[in-house]
Amino acid sequence: MDAAIRRIIAVDVQRRRTGRCSAMVHALGSGESFTIASAPDGFTDVASGLRVWPDGRHIVLSGGRAPIRIELDDDVGFSGFDPKSGESFTGRAGGGSSVTVYEGDGYYQFALVNENGL
């Protein structure tokens, strides 16, 4: 799974958990920051240009890419499957400002910032 998809998963899960869409996401491993453009029905990951629409148990992406399956498991857990990469993932995201995505033997941490800085 590529970095943009992991980032999109982090933003989508946080949006589902809190009801707010982040304006910025920081990839803590690489130190990179990425702008997110919120929309009433989803968001756009500005760096990749991918438009995202949450749809029940799926994350629908622009460009005809197969939807990513996502399920919120408990208070902070989530899991899913990306059909394009053929990879399953799990993660943790509560109501705070961080999300961790576990994929294979690795993990990716993200800090998410709302427009008001929280």
| Mean pLDDT for the stretch of residues 32-45 | 95
Q: Tens of pLDDT along 59-111? A: 999 999 999 999 998 789 999 999 999 999 999 997 678 999 999 999 999 99
Considering the chain, what percentage of its residues have pLDDT values greater than 70? 97
In three-state form (DSSP H/G/I as H, E/B as E, the rest C), the secondary structure along the chain is CCHHHHHHHHHHHHHHHHCCCCCEEEECCCCEEEEEEEECCEEEECCCCEEEEEECCEEEECCCCCCEEEEECCCCEEEEEECCCCEEEEEEECCCCEEEEEECCEEEEEEEECCCCC
Fold of domain 3-113: Lipocalin (2.40.128)
Grade residue 115 by pLDDT with cuts at 50, 70 and 90.
Answer: confident
Furthest C-alpha separation in the chain = 37
Looking at residue 118, its pLDDT comes to 53
Q: For the chain, give the mean pLDDT.
A: 93
**What pLDDT digit, counting tens, does each position of 87-101 carry?**
999 999 976 789 999
Q: What are phi and psi of 102, to 5 degrees?
A: -105, 125
